[in-house]
Structure 1
């Protein structure tokens, strides 16, 4: 059921040898022509470049020059799934995941809806990668009810934008906080930061280079 969905290439993954060969390609019909921006991360003695090109190759997701607002796309879409399973409309990622895991054989969820809910759960927990205390993206429950619209949505552009924004801002101001912590009597001297989005794509880049 997942084989022909938009995330099938991301779920199946690419072999490391094939991915190494793909990274040598300078142009690709799925590469964004105007999606700009990249960041370099120094890890040990290596400098890892992270841009839309690498993100596209690792995830297999397609890009468009721009990503239409999902709220605009789903503005007039039915909220059937939201009404059927989340009537109070207040659900965070953790609650959604626990509810889905506890669905038993006697649940009232049809097979088609199980696939749709699983796609949204994979999107929330793996690709978007946000804090599980945050609310789920309710518009995704509307969009997934129309699988053609869900599959044609520019997930590569959307997810790369979220991931790149997180990479770009996660360490801003952290050096000052670290210096303050060194001068304070606090026992913990390390300064931590969180990176959200599909960070796995960056981790794969580091492993294959």
Structure 2
């Protein structure tokens, strides 16, 4: 699994993020009186929108009502306990260190840690110093529940917030 993760890290480094395109798009944001959970832009003489529908078509993740994440309970003998001693804060960099340099104690531990890493680093686009919320550790313990979670809605909400606050200094 570590070699698979190593291949993923190599691919991730080779991916290009076109921040100048995103920046130029954000400079063309139209402020409107419509729904606040989306964005509108002026491109040339056309007004274009970026709402849940467009995001859903692009990303292909499950949408739905995001449950109250404070209700997730701690799990006995979880990956959070086994590899991070149940620490309140675990960074993506720490997860990477465990995945690339640890013998796993249970069969699916590497899969669970890779899911958390890819969710936050790739889909959410957060910095490697980002601290993984404890509820994500609790949710990933049950892979069916993790898969059923409406990640599309969660990532969309995070993306819109990030885009709307990207130009605030």
TM-score by length of 1: 0.56
Larger fraction in helix: 2
Aligned residues: 134
Structure 2 match to 1:83: 81
CA distance in 1, matches of 2:160, 2:129: 21
Is the CA contact 1:144–1:150 (under 8 Å) kept in the aligned structure 2? yes
Structure 1: unaligned runs, 5 residues or longer: 1-34, 175-209
CA offset at residue 154 of structure 1?
A: 1.2
CA offset at residue 84 of structure 1?
A: 0.6
CA distance in 2, matches of 1:75, 1:118: 21
Structure 1 match to 2:98: 99
User: SS in structure 2 opposite 1:49?
Assistant: strand
User: SS in structure 2 opposite 1:84?
Assistant: helix
Structure 2 match to 1:71: 70
CA offset at residue 123 of structure 1?
A: 0.8
The change in CA–CA distance for 1:99 and 1:47 in structure 2 (over 3 A counts) is: farther
Structure 2: unaligned runs, 5 residues or longer: 1-34
Are 2:132 and 1:136 aligned? yes
CA distance in 1, matches of 2:135, 2:77: 9
Is the CA contact 1:91–1:136 (under 8 Å) kept in the aligned structure 2? yes
Are 2:154 and 1:155 aligned? no
**Structural RMSD (CA):** 2.5
CA distance in 1, matches of 2:73, 2:45: 48
CA offset at residue 78 of structure 1?
A: 4.1
User: SS in structure 1 opposite 2:141?
Assistant: coil
CA distance in 1, matches of 2:77, 2:36: 34
Structure 2 match to 1:60: 60
User: SS in structure 2 opposite 1:111?
Assistant: coil
CA distance in 2, matches of 1:44, 1:113: 49
Structure 2 match to 1:126: 122
Is the CA contact 2:62–2:148 (under 8 Å) kept in the aligned structure 1? no
CA offset at residue 159 of structure 1?
A: 1.0
TM-score by length of 2: 0.68
CA distance in 2, matches of 1:102, 1:43: 47
